Amino acid sequence: MTSVVGRGSNRAQLAGVLLVALAMAAVSCSSAGQRAHGSADSASSSPSRDGVRQVATTVGSPPLRATLTLPAATGPFAVVVFMSGSGPNDQDETLGPDKPFRDLALGLAADGIATLRYDKRTRDYPHALNPATFTAVDEYVPDALAAIAYLRRQPGIDPHRIIVLGHSQGGTFAPLVAQRSPALAGVILLAASVEPFGAALLRQTRYLATLPGAIGSQAAAALPRVEVTVGQLDGPSLAQDPPDTVLAGGVGPAYYLSLEHVDPVATARAIPQPLLILQGDRDYEVTVPDDLDVWIHGLAGRPQVTVHQFPAADHLFIDGTGPASPADQDTPAHIDPEVTAVIATWVHALRGTS
């Protein structure tokens, strides 16, 4: 684990512990107990299963690696832009052996819906980001808008049926993307987080501490220091740190301070686009009481909100049984096909899509 230096504060001795907790939380984006098995515009195209085409392309500037997945039929197609969760994710949102975004892209293409997925900037250009100025908005919004602009130029894509889909922290920022791109046809939120960062990290670490074996003992040992660190990140001292202070995840105070100014529920309530919200009941990273219920309460009375819960699904919408554990990551699995079916049905219903 790379150490993190916290200049101008006493966070240096604690930041490494926080990174461990963050890494444990990221690894635990997996199914629970036992899992169900199962240049930009001149890109090259390769055939995939059932005639689905996977087109290697790029998004944004400097360019991010991306894939445009097209159905076998003739367009114009509705298209879904994927925004992945926290961390330097690749375009498939690969976690261990699992690739949920690839599963979803191929499944939607088989149902006549195109998708665009891309690496995060924190993966392709981590050393080009300035910790003194880099914010959470910078991490998500500009590249999603660039992806939307790219799609509007593509033959075979219906520019009036572009939908943005955000998973986890990507779902936190998907409504902001829709606000800044009002011509979007809809917004899909998969396990979209609204709980404050510090509270979520503490809750996840406390959960991990209840698990048996080395995972639980490591989390339990880290918990007291994580509590102190989160208290500092959430406290007034954060705003007093020098801008070039490097904190957990290699970002500076600007990143964590920017999270305090994002209200995804209020933004979602104010935008005109239809909303589809999906949640796995066995997800402990983004949970029903701490996140989904907040969405439902905050959007009460807003028209065109559809909510689906999946009782056996985890944070990646992979079905399983028993308490979720990072150990589940050892077993390859695939996204619940019912999730893909629900999304496809909703997308086809937008603006009379057939």
Q: Which of 31, 168, 181, 325 is catalytic?
A: 168
Q: Identify whether 217 is a catalytic site residue.
A: no
How far is residue 205's CA from residue 224's CA, in Å, rounded to a whole number? 10
Share of the chain above pLDDT 90, in %: 68
Point out the catalytic residue in the list 315, 319, 325, 334: 315
Distances (CA, A) of 125 to 50, 62, 65, 135: 34, 8, 11, 15
Q: What is the pTM of this model?
A: 0.87
Q: pLDDT band for 239, please (50, 70, 90 cuts).
A: confident
Q: What is the distance between the alpha carbons of residues 132 and 188, in angstroms, rounded to a whole number?
A: 32
Alpha-carbon distance 309 to 288, whole Å? Answer: 9
The amino acid present at 7, given as its one-letter code, is R
Mean pLDDT score of the chain, rounded to an integer? 85
CA-based nearest residue to 290, from 197, 170, 215: 197
Would you state the pLDDT for residue 49? 60
Q: Is the pLDDT of residue 12 over 70?
A: no
> Which stretch of 11-15, 30-34, 85-89 has the lowest confidence by average pLDDT?
11-15
Domain 33-197+262-352 has CATH 3.40.50.1820: yes
- Tell me the domain boundaries of the chain: 33-197+262-352
Q: Which long-range contacts (CB under 8 A, 24 or more apart) does 232-241 make?
A: 232/9, 232/11, 232/14, 233/18, 233/197, 233/198, 234/196, 234/197, 234/198, 237/9, 241/6, 241/8, 241/9
Catalytic residue among 283, 319, 328, 336: 283
Is the model more confident about 244 or about 14? 244
pLDDT one-digit tens code per residue, 197-220: 889 999 999 999 999 999 899 999
pLDDT band with cut points at 50, 70 and 90 for residue 176: very high
pLDDT confidence of residue 34: 52
Chain position carrying tokens 């589809």 = 276
- Is 3 annotated as catalytic? no
Is 315 catalytic? The answer is: yes
Given pLDDT bands bounded at 50, 70 and 90, which one contains residue 157? very high
Q: Do 64 and 143 touch, CB atoms closer than 8 A?
A: yes
Q: Dump pLDDT digits (tens) for 40-62.
A: 333 444 445 678 999 999 999 99
CA dist 237 and 153 (Å) reads 46
